Structure 1
């Protein structure tokens, strides 16, 4: 279970033993567990939405969004902001992209991207809280969060890292066999619970193709941004279905 605990410590703010707190040297062992951690995040968000929806669907959506940010520590949405700033300033220059993404200051592009992402999740969570039963809500959110983190395994396997860092060390633990088996398992469960989420397979391929064409590589921030965008698109698919 060390790999799972490392993944839990790396991707969430949930308490884990100090020895498995997500140290860089152990990140490779965490890679196969990313979808499982995503499923746990989705379940916690679903519970928060259901509790708040006892009052109104919008309160449920607010509770769910707060749970999402608190459990993940804003890790992925921080990556989205960094990527938005970097894409806005890089103009196709990979070195410039890396430099801007590493800047700790938030620019206007990043602020706009984060605001739009939070609004998007709030709206789709409210729609789900209004329309779905708890089993439907929980199944959809668990699968959406798991699929989004499975997609980052595809990204890490298909697109080389731009720099050395957390993203590259995590990618070192991604095996093609693991990606295929976990993707097949998620697809089977989705067929039974929410078939519309099979669109995640196309989203994963589209994400990998985008970064391959745009930069020829990825950073840890690219992984975080891709997780956020994939989650929102899958939630939108659930609402549409």
Structure 2
């Protein structure tokens, strides 16, 4: 394990305090992406704390877990989701118009409404999960979503040759993506098998972007992370009781 690259991955994906990395090189950002699923599990561990401590007060556990989620990630992927929602809302099925709106830093009504609905969804699902037998599965939800970024970046062309999605994966091998799959599957089987929904979900997201736009950008990656996390939370809440019943 390269401690330097792991620290860079933590710095890029979270607001957690880390040692300063000197002599930064552009390729470091790309190579650090191999640790994104591990950073996702670290985020998931922080989200699990309120659910564990306040399991008998699910609404409070849900809102505190959501606050931790937004803070620790710096709303990085929420920003991408809002931008993508604005672009789709104003594009009227015109791919060129989509790209133009995506570059606009201002947030429009489509983005605002989408972010409100996304945060509301996560709050309700986290509150439900606090009272669920599969609550510990939250640890792997961000891990699977960040594994998804490796898949999408490898399997979908970049919409912007010098965009963020291109820059962090240009030296990332497909081997890094496959190495994470066995431990994620094994831990999902152990903690909460509904998380295995990620196995078809991640490729389906890639297929959707290919057919919709023919490529992906950094904002699209962020939006995909948010959607994947919400759907995995939904799977834990809806299928969790069945999973524990079968066990």
**TM-score bracket relative to the smaller structure:** over 0.9
Q: Residues 120 and 24 of structure 1: is their aligned pair in 2 closer, same or farther, counting only changes over 3 Å? A: farther
* Unaligned residue ranges in structure 1 (runs of 5+): none
Deviations 1:162-215 (A, max 9, x none): 111221111213322221221122112211221111110111011100100011
- 1:149 matched residue in structure 2: 146
Q: Pairwise CA RMSD of aligned residues? A: 1.8
1:92 aligns to 2:99 (yes or no): no
Query: Which runs of structure 1 show a deviation greater than 6 angstroms over 4 or more consecutive aligned residues?
Result: 20-23
Secondary structure of 1:41's aligned partner: helix
- 2:107 matched residue in structure 1: 106
- 1:7 matched residue in structure 2: 9
TM-score (norm 1): 0.92
- 1:206 matched residue in structure 2: 204
Q: Does the CA-based 8 Å contact 1:49-1:62 persist in structure 2?
A: no
Secondary structure of 2:131's aligned partner: helix
Secondary structure of 2:168's aligned partner: helix
In the TM superposition, what is the alpha-carbon distance from 1:4 to its structure 2 partner?
A: 1.0
Paired with 1:232 and 1:203, the residues of 2 have a C-alpha distance of 12
Q: Does the CA-based 8 Å contact 2:42-2:139 persist in structure 1?
A: yes
- 1:29 matched residue in structure 2: 31
Paired with 2:179 and 2:216, the residues of 1 have a C-alpha distance of 23
Match for 2:52 among 42, 50, 53? Answer: 50
> Where do 1:54-69 residues align within 5 Å?
56-69=57-70
Paired with 1:70 and 1:211, the residues of 2 have a C-alpha distance of 28
**Which structure features the higher share of helix residues?**
1
Paired with 2:219 and 2:145, the residues of 1 have a C-alpha distance of 14
In the TM superposition, what is the alpha-carbon distance from 1:69 to its structure 2 partner?
A: 0.1
Deviations 1:115-137 (A, max 9, x none): 111011001111111223xxx42
Paired with 1:175 and 1:90, the residues of 2 have a C-alpha distance of 34
Q: Residues 227 and 2 of structure 1: is their aligned pair in 2 closer, same or farther, counting only changes over 3 Å? A: same
* Unaligned residue ranges in structure 2 (runs of 5+): 240-247
- 1:71 matched residue in structure 2: 72
